[in-house]
Structure 1
Amino acid sequence: MAIYSSKPFKPALLLAALLAACSAPPAPLAVQAIDADTWLVQGAAEEFSPDNRGHISNITIVNTGAGVLLVDSGGSEAVGTALAETVAALTDEPVRWIVLTHHHPDHVFGAHAFPQADTLMLAGAWRDLQRYQHHYLDTLATRLAPEGSSQPPAQPFEQPPRLLAPGRHRFGDREFELLELHGHSGADAVLYEPARELLITGDMVFWQRAPATAHTPSLAAWIQDLDQLATLPVRHLVPGHGPLTDARALAANQRWLRWLDQLLKQSAENGLSTNEMLDHDLPAEFADWPLARYELTRSASHFYPAYEERAFADSAMAPKGEKDGTEGEKTPAPTGP
């Protein structure tokens, strides 16, 4: 439907209005109550886009009786601003602490909306954020900022956060065990509250969404970390991406990682190119997960050259009959976990 007006058309005013609309922060974010004073803010199962403004990872809001603890903060200052409004609608307590579980951009840059808060990270996560943050900011500017906008969607961390050590940490009347793991990003903080059997995993766990492996040191290391988490009694599990769940998410992530490891290993042994390896069907369990094919492609870019090198080295060391194919047959690449 066309809309007409007798007022003169002013392109500059229209452009200003459009840019203002694009740069406006999101409305207060939808929350899900975990219990009476703990909430999940679930991010979209998407990559960065102007529509989601960087709200693609989960955030946990914890009311401690002496201030609010946030676990992660979203991927842009607009998300941080909306998060501040969300917290204010839930409690009169101020945000006093922000634990950033790891260095990836979708979890950290909303923290700038809380200058009064004590921001905490593992030393390894801070080291990696210093290394990568300007690359991340360039990516965010490309993917989130509206065309023609001079306002960046996020700012760099100029001051170091307070560094966290593994062990018991008390925030008001809530006590958490902080675990330092390495499987997802190389330095991953996981918070466990024994009194409530609450596990907040950051990106050590994805649920109903394919795991991302961009800085994963090894799939075996991640699987081993998940074995450690599986020893904890868990009533509620807050993953880094996906809905609130429980301990079953640990096993689902392990199945994906083991399937991925076998696909890469057997494809390399069979001499498949990257494209040939990626042409395999996803197992039925994972086929409907958001971003599954996308994350498989990213994982292949990250890992497959090392699998190919290992397969070549193993072939070079094999007995002659195995090398020239006169004994045995190649194992087909797997199509299931």
Structure 2
Amino acid sequence: MNSFTFHRATDIDDAVRNNTSHAGAAYIGGGTNLIDLMKENVMRPAHLVSVAKLPLAAIEVLPDGGLRLGAMATNADTAWNEEVKNRYPLLNQAILAGASPQLRNAATNGGNLMQRTRCLYFYDLATPCNKREPGTGCSAIGGFNRIHAILGASEHCIATHPSDMCVALAALAPTVRVSGPEGERSIAFNDFHRLPGDQPDKDNTLKPGELILSLDLPKKGFSKNFSYLKLRDRQSYAFALISVAAGLELDGNTITDARLALGGVAHKPWRDQAAEKLLIGQPATAETFARVAAKVVENAQGQGANDFKIELARRAIVRALKQAAEGSQKAADVFQNSNP
């Protein structure tokens, strides 16, 4: 780990000001990802600005009926919040499917959005990685790529976003409130994370010095017909090979609104709004779900070792939509032993 200077921010303006006045600065909250990256010398910030004591941990109902999740609220506090459990159970289930209780007690909502990929080559300083060192190449292309992207990848990077929470958020479509040198602004969640393109080192659309303040959920939470399905190699403490967040609104057996997002498939949480439109007005049947799943993966491309993920994604979409339609989601984790 490199040496660094440290500042504990006293308020939001102090945090932004201190961050922007130091070259190579980074914000730190729970530190559950950043500290690991620093230990491995993957990230080497010269200055850390702690936001751990800022008043950003509240979870509160908004005047429009939505819910504001403070950036410094822990994943555990968010998952077990009564408003989240009752109105946004999809988010509750996704959070509890991730990491471990110890990590959820420390990890923050803002930090969850800022997670970096768990690509083996990103962590291995002995191998080329465009995300870690732009222009050096992508070792996963033609390498060991079993966990890598099948959608939205580029010739420069095929890494995936690791978060469970963010897959549910992609389906729920909150806005991300941030503050920076130019003041406050809001970012639609779908616009927060980036696909790799020719800049795979850039994970999101934050401007220099911007700090996440909150996630503002809309009123609609799909609290009755939802499913978070996570398929992985072992039942706990493992990243998703494929995950699916599905939310439906039904009038009898007819779908009147739908949300569908996938994890483990792309550089960002993958929300397919075109597929959502195909669901609306259709009967909630296996045939409908199969057509939509086929549409989602029609442009998927494997890299050899991860070819199996295309069919796995198709089946997972059908299963998640079926569970959502039945209102049968019961547990935070759904396990499938996948070892092609």
Q: State TM-score, norm by structure 1.
A: 0.31
Q: State TM-score, norm by structure 2.
A: 0.31
Of structures 1 and 2, the one scoring higher in RCO (CA 8 A, sep 6+) is 2
Please state which structure has a larger fraction of its residues in helix: 1
